[in-house]
Structure 1
Amino acid sequence: MSESIFDRYPEKRKLLAEPVSGSEELLQVNGHFHTPYSFSAFSEIRQVFEMALAEKVKVLGINDFYTTDGYEEFNRLAKEYQIFPLFNIEFMALQKDLQAAGVRVNDPNNPGRTYFSGKGLKYPVMLNAEMMGKLLQVQNESNRQTGEMIEKLNRWLKDIYEDFSFSFDIMKAKYAKNLLRERHISKALRETVAEKYPSEENQIAVWEKIFSGKAPKSEVADFAGLENEIRGNLLKSGGKAFVPEDDKAFLSLEQVIELIIHAGGIPCYPVLLDNPKGEFTDFEGDYQQLYESLIAKKVYSLELIPGRNNPGIMEEFVNYFNEKGFLITFGTEHNTPQLDPITVFGGDGKELSDPMKKIGYEGACVIAAHQYLLAKEKEGFLDASGKAKLERRDEFVQLGNAVIKNFVE
């Protein structure tokens, strides 16, 4: 286990007394991206840091599904590149009451299903046996479902007289770290077809056969588009290799929040916001109602992926919650095969406005201060009851700014 970056930091009083060069400068932040430890556009974590270095991004937030396995490598590379690390995690929870009521939360297709993140976990992460058991439960269930998908895919390939098949263990060893997900299956199938059928014409013919007579819409060189078609045609509901998720694949939202707090993290709701048609989910359409729902569950942190939102709508939403004292961060996700820049851009392809950059950087500062205080065995942004210290947000921003700039400069 590599040493925590906080081992060399001075105590709070001394840290704040030290001059901070460029103290007013807003550093570029990407607070949410996935790595190969779940599924990612990146081939390895080092690639993230190389891109960040080239694009002058100074703060990075790992945010893998169900796992902290990438933390040690992430921590080591952060020290090597002098880019400040935010230690995050993501879950898919299930709110059964909202599922029964048909309420879509931040998954537009599955009522009740709720993506949820933890920000600023203590590193190294220490979970007791009960919490580790819950984490392993969802990891194992995710792998079990993926394994069944591979078996069904193999049966379908045999039915259409294709003489190749896949092994869970071999696919996991080649494409994944600990978790093998459906996106890995899509990538493996695309690469195998391309290798077996070198000509574009033959590949198209094979895809039409695999897709039950439906010709692919994507060019064979459009890896991201083709892999999304594989998922849609084979691995989603109605597809030949579809396997429905068992309830064991999900923790309740309350269990997820408990696990995050136990690991030292700040519970954070990932906002879907508007789709390309300007539509919102049932849960997010009314900002005041969303605010009240989150506060009732002691959730005081939000994150957005601005690249999928209308900038005007996003700014209105962010300003609304920023004025209420919420901790807000931005990221790129990178949870598809598409390798976009690590810099956070808006849905119009342009840089975020200066006010949005300021809000995002201040959010990262709060998380940095929280991580620093936990590493010094102090209370962080949450009090003993799990309530955020919103009234002290500016104090955490100041401390976090010192923490980050002490590390990167």
Structure 2
Amino acid sequence: MRIEDLEAQLDDFDFERRKTAFLKLSEAYRRGEISFPPPRPVVNLHFHTFFSFNACGYSPLHIVWRAKKEGLSVAGSVDFDVLDALEEFRFGGFTLGLPVVSGLETRIYLPEFRNEELSSPNEPGIAYYMGNGFVRLPEEGTRAFETLRKLKRIAQERNTKIIARVNAYLRETAIDYEADVLPLTPSHNPTERHIVVAYARRAESVFPNPRDRARFWAEKLGVREEEIWALEKDRALFYDFIRSRLMKFGGVGYVQPDAGDFPRIQEVNEMILSAGAIPSFSWLDGTRSGEADPERLIAFCEANGVETFFLIPDRNWNIPDDEERKIKVQKLHEFVETARKHHFPVFVGTELNRYGQKFVDDFDSPYLAPLADFFLESAWVLWGHAVLEMSSGRGYTSDWAKRTFKSRAAKNQFFARVGKRTEASWEAVRKLGARSTESLLQEFGG
């Protein structure tokens, strides 16, 4: 089978089929039929997989494969409300010798910010929140397990509300959640983006004539037919436009969230910590009222168990408007420097859950270059955490770490050194886990 065909098979919804393809590709690499570049000082810790929504349809194994091909130093999976990618992503990374980590993204309600916007625009008090560096799943029957189930249930209940509203509006192209949406994801964890794809496909089926379809969308989306013709040339723009007009704030399908729809930070932190991961607060762009004062936000986060921050750099500099770019670049640097001053690692990535997003950030960009070393150092902290947590339960948020390190700065330095010096192999992880505290501190500091 050709390399291209094997790579395409990496996205098969059947795990055994994609695993078989991955192992064949790995063998081709070991035989020298495929070559990889040496690792570059670039990372992406925020890859959505097809277990939530990936714009390229990539499975966890496909992301690992491409990350190795592109020379990433560390790769991280992140999915909405599920940890379905964790074991597959780790298997792929260790097979190819690529440091990998896995995370989860959800939303929480913060009553302290009930009148201020954070990372969820137009929804005061609601923030995106993450756990990074998971090494295991919550045990069934535990409160953490129930919290994880609750996160997925909340998201799916919101999906059905959105579909009911949009169906009533679109009528001719109404979709069925179970028949049209659930099959688009291997683990029945669809997002708004899956719903958009389902509506677009139904419109193509109901209106096979492009002119009829353009007329339909123009009427329903409130624009001229010429604009639909232009948008349809770029699937990314068109899908985003449908989503913004129908499902986001102000759209017919928008569901105004209620505070009771989301868990509190303490509940989610308990789940994250029980699975050996690190609580991470998502920062948007600094222009929202709740993000206006970095010192205040970081102090709040520190007091509420947040250990790290996560952001998407492209939002702050890859912007066509010069004035907007200037403001957001300034906000980005201000926030990152404040986090660095307080010794909080900052993780970065591109998401890859929207058409047109990059596979990896442009760390050489003049807007990111001054921050690139810190982003890379933070990634090594996360990998260092993962290998020590999975090997011996001595990760970044462990009781061992609390006893061992007198300061956040010392802890960061230690875990970054562990990350830089530990390869992605089970043998290396086992050897690391067998070492004494004295031996680890002697080599890695602290």
CA deviation vs aligned residue, 1:366-402 (integer Å, no higher than 9, x gap): 1112112221233221243996851322111111111
Residue of structure 2 aligned with 1:269, choices 277, 281, 301: 281
Q: Does 1:343 align with 2:360?
A: yes
Q: Does 1:289 align with 2:299?
A: no
Aligned to 2:245: 233
Distance 2:201 2:63 in 1: 23
Aligned to 1:36: 50
Residue of structure 2 aligned with 1:170, choices 174, 179, 186: 179
Query: Contact conserved, 1:344 with 1:352, CA < 8 A, in 2?
Result: no
Deviation at 1:82? 2.8
CA deviation vs aligned residue, 1:252-290 (integer Å, no higher than 9, x gap): 12211222112211111111124xxxxx11222122222
Distance 1:281 1:238 in 2: 18
Aligned to 2:310: 303
* Equivalent position amino acid for 2:157 in 1: R
Distance 1:235 1:407 in 2: 45
Residue of structure 1 aligned with 2:126, choices 92, 102, 113: 113
Query: Contact conserved, 1:142 with 1:249, CA < 8 A, in 2?
Result: no
Distance 2:141 2:401 in 1: 18
Distance 2:244 2:162 in 1: 13
Aligned to 1:277: none
The higher relative CO (CA closer than 8 Å, separation ≥ 6) is in 1
Among the aligned pairs, what percent are the same residue? 23
* Equivalent position amino acid for 2:365 in 1: K
Distance 2:263 2:311 in 1: 22
Deviation at 1:352? 6.6
Structure 1 gap segments, 5+ residues each:
3-24, 275-279
Distance 2:422 2:390 in 1: 12
Aligned to 2:343: 325
Query: Contact conserved, 1:29 with 1:57, CA < 8 A, in 2?
Result: yes
- What is the correspondence of 1:216-227 to structure 2 with a 5 Å cutoff? 216=227, 219-227=231-239
* Equivalent position amino acid for 1:170 in 2: A
* Equivalent position amino acid for 2:48 in 1: H
Structure 2 gap segments, 5+ residues each:
1-14, 17-38, 318-328, 429-446
Query: Contact conserved, 2:310 with 2:346, CA < 8 A, in 1?
Result: yes
Deviation at 1:66? 0.9
TM-score normalized by structure 1?
0.81
Aligned to 2:97: 82
Deviation at 1:407? 7.8
Deviation at 1:40? 2.2
Query: Contact conserved, 2:384 with 2:422, CA < 8 A, in 1?
Result: yes
Aligned to 1:103: 116
* Equivalent position amino acid for 2:52 in 1: S
Number of residue pairs the alignment of both structures matches = 373
SS in 2 for 1:376: helix
Q: Does 1:257 align with 2:269?
A: yes
Query: Contact conserved, 2:108 with 2:265, CA < 8 A, in 1?
Result: yes
Aligned to 1:185: 195
- What is the correspondence of 1:20-35 to structure 2 with a 5 Å cutoff? 27-35=41-49
Aligned to 2:431: none
- 1:400/1:386 Cα in 2 relative to 1: closer, same or farther (>3 Å)? closer
Aligned to 1:399: 418
CA deviation vs aligned residue, 1:157-187 (integer Å, no higher than 9, x gap): 33xxx2x432211223431232122221111
* Equivalent position amino acid for 1:305 in 2: I
Q: Does 1:211 align with 2:221?
A: yes
* Equivalent position amino acid for 2:418 in 1: L
* Equivalent position amino acid for 1:261 in 2: L
Deviation at 1:312? 4.9
SS in 1 for 2:231: coil
CA deviation vs aligned residue, 1:118-174 (integer Å, no higher than 9, x gap): 11112355465222112212211221221232233333333xxx2x43221122343
- 1:408/1:286 Cα in 2 relative to 1: closer, same or farther (>3 Å)? farther
Aligned to 1:15: none
CA deviation vs aligned residue, 1:6-32 (integer Å, no higher than 9, x gap): xxxxxxxxxxxxxxxxxxx86321011
Distance 1:392 1:243 in 2: 42
Deviation at 1:97? 3.5
SS in 1 for 2:159: helix
Distance 2:140 2:148 in 1: 9
